[in-house]
Structure 1
């Protein structure tokens, strides 16, 4: 069976399911979610001309003064009158610019004696200096945030100042996580000679932590076809992610259990190192992802497939991680027929691959800050060449 290229596998994975239903949530609960409907401004910001500095509101045509101070304008408490020729109003940052005034003389360039005001510097260099004009940020009905954009803290603030108290987003994704294998025991419990502490569920949950998910922990499932089938047939989730049992050995029962539970496998085995024995399909409306068992393979396949699938379901316009170019710190050999994701660290503007790349070595992964991407059949690369990386820390 030919191995499926990564880009094709990613496209086929996203095609397995559409977006989650839309719901409205308060702004305080919307951070990290993806916008489902355009967010348009319900007001203009600022709604009037404002001062950008502490000083005096004046008419530019009256320079170089002098002026008579006729009042004060503060944020939330503006001056109701009109500034006429030779007049000025004491003004503070964020306060509305009085009618008639068109510029602000900063207080460092002003000399005031009672109500008499004189120029003590260069003064504003042009009309409108040291002011923020109405609509400088946006006007009412401007579309500020498009569907598919993520609600970062700055976008939350933008939505709030635009007049929104709640936002239309996609429902959180229910993600079921299961580890499979008779050799696995929960972390912290005694480990026998043929056993191993289970780590993949914890790692997957941590990888999903910054996404809008509700985790369903199916625990550690034994290498038993009936037990696996029952678990997969009864789970209520939008996405089922398993680790282990996805290869072709006698004890690799995830695929037959999924099929016995009513799942259809769309693809299996991809041109990826680490992580070749990965499968994807559907059981009803639920997407299923069978990841390998080795921890590094789980991490990489989750980064490239599981996390993007969650982001896609949650409404992301661009769910996949974005690589960047960095100078290589040392030579790399030519690559084989699979796309290789090499654990590495960035130091002094260059990237350095780890010496050993075994897919069971969590210590190397934990020390890594990025993955070097090596395309299939890539030629040998020399130090100081540009290579693509994915940041992971």
Structure 2
């Protein structure tokens, strides 16, 4: 539902200069414009030779030029790594395995395997290298450049902002005297960055006063620039919970309004129309820190993927290494760490909805369905915590359990 809402509201693709595409998403498959490599290139410094030794030196091949052909047997051309192999060459002899006689002729025994890269060795012209929906990172940028691209069709990063609600929050110093330290204001922008969002300045606003007018003004200001505004706290219906009335004031439409999950059930996602015709979104994260992160992985992650034109998130599966309790009629998202050697997931301690100690040691949330408990050995989906942009998870997709890593032979 959240992914579909994001997909429907994503911006049109734009042609963006290659150096500016980091963090964007490919809007079309990346295909090769030429063979890779486009021509035979020497992989060592040495001699391009024709025929049998000794070879008479007739020239030099350097990177960046087109050397003349070797047209006669018994001739050689000095060649640098990366240089185009001259037409007519039958071998490349490594410089350290060659010798020269008093007449300057070259001798040596070329290795049996070619010492050059063959055209199309990496890819052939028109071959699809990456599908549409691939996040662009420095590796993708380098690959595109090697194919000859100067720009790419991409979906740009979405802009996100955070509003912090709660008169009881401190933004600095030690908690006490009825005031608690705001843990989400510093943390949520970092999570959003890991989902590939661009933070709209100011990245964090608040704490915003516990009044309806302040909530409406804060949301309206943030939505003027951001595609997605996350809020913390105020998602219930208590005397100072003003998010729902503020959303009504803005004419928002709910995409999700509470979820049967523990922790984090009072999460919400709403869409707000704008005068420019584009839809913006408000993600209401509960005030308890772990509940807020559950909302991020449950609502924000698929929404952002849709807005960015990426693939819908898929969940790795792990076997439970210890029991995990159920939460009755609710889905239980239980914090776990994962063991890359055994592929197992183990619950971590300190996982109350207001606690962060367990979260700091976890890799994600094991999904325990309603009416069930987690038994050691059960295969369960794990909702991963987001990685840094460009990091690639090693986990297999949902439906394929993790296997223990094998030692290289």
Q: Please indicate, yes or no, whether the TM-score normalized by the shorter chain is above 0.5.
A: yes
- 1:155 counterpart = 2:155: no
TM-score (structure 2 length as normaliser): 0.80
Residue 303 of structure 1 is matched in structure 2 by 297
After superposition, the Cα gap between the structure-2 partners of 1:255 and 1:37, relative to the gap in structure 1 and judged at 3 Å, is same
| Aligned mates of 2:318, 2:101 — CA distance in 1 | 61
- 1:231 counterpart = 2:215: no
Residue 22 of structure 1 is matched in structure 2 by 13
Moved more, 282-291 or 345-354: 345-354
Residue 288 of structure 1 is matched in structure 2 by 282
- 1:55 counterpart = 2:46: yes
Residue 46 of structure 1 is matched in structure 2 by 37
| Aligned mates of 1:294, 1:379 — CA distance in 2 | 24
- Gaps of at least 5 residues in structure 2 are 274-278, 388-409
TM-score (structure 1 length as normaliser): 0.83
Matches within 5 A, 1:1-393: 9-11=1-3, 13-14=5-6, 17-59=8-50, 62=51, 65-114=53-102, 115-120=104-109, 123-125=110-112, 129-188=114-173, 191=175, 193-210=177-194, 211-215=196-200, 216=202, 217-234=204-221, 235-236=223-224, 237-284=226-273, 285-316=279-310, 318-320=311-313, 322-333=314-325, 336-347=328-339, 349=342, 350-382=344-376, 386-392=379-385
Report the number of matched residues.
Answer: 373
Contact kept? 2:326, 2:370, Cα under 8 Å:
no
Residue 4 of structure 1 is matched in structure 2 by none
| Aligned mates of 2:238, 2:4 — CA distance in 1 | 26
**In structure 2, the residue corresponding to 1:208 is in which secondary structure?**
helix
Contact kept? 2:351, 2:357, Cα under 8 Å:
no
Q: Any idea what the Cα deviations from partners look like across 1:149-204, whole Å, max 9, x if unmatched?
A: 1112111011222223333323442323212223223233x755222222222211
**In structure 2, the residue corresponding to 1:209 is in which secondary structure?**
helix
Residue 3 of structure 1 is matched in structure 2 by none
**In structure 2, the residue corresponding to 1:156 is in which secondary structure?**
helix
| Aligned mates of 2:120, 2:320 — CA distance in 1 | 47
| Aligned mates of 1:334, 1:212 — CA distance in 2 | 33
After superposition, the Cα gap between the structure-2 partners of 1:69 and 1:309, relative to the gap in structure 1 and judged at 3 Å, is same
Residue 140 (structure 1) shift: 4.9
| Aligned mates of 1:351, 1:266 — CA distance in 2 | 32
After superposition, the Cα gap between the structure-2 partners of 1:73 and 1:142, relative to the gap in structure 1 and judged at 3 Å, is same
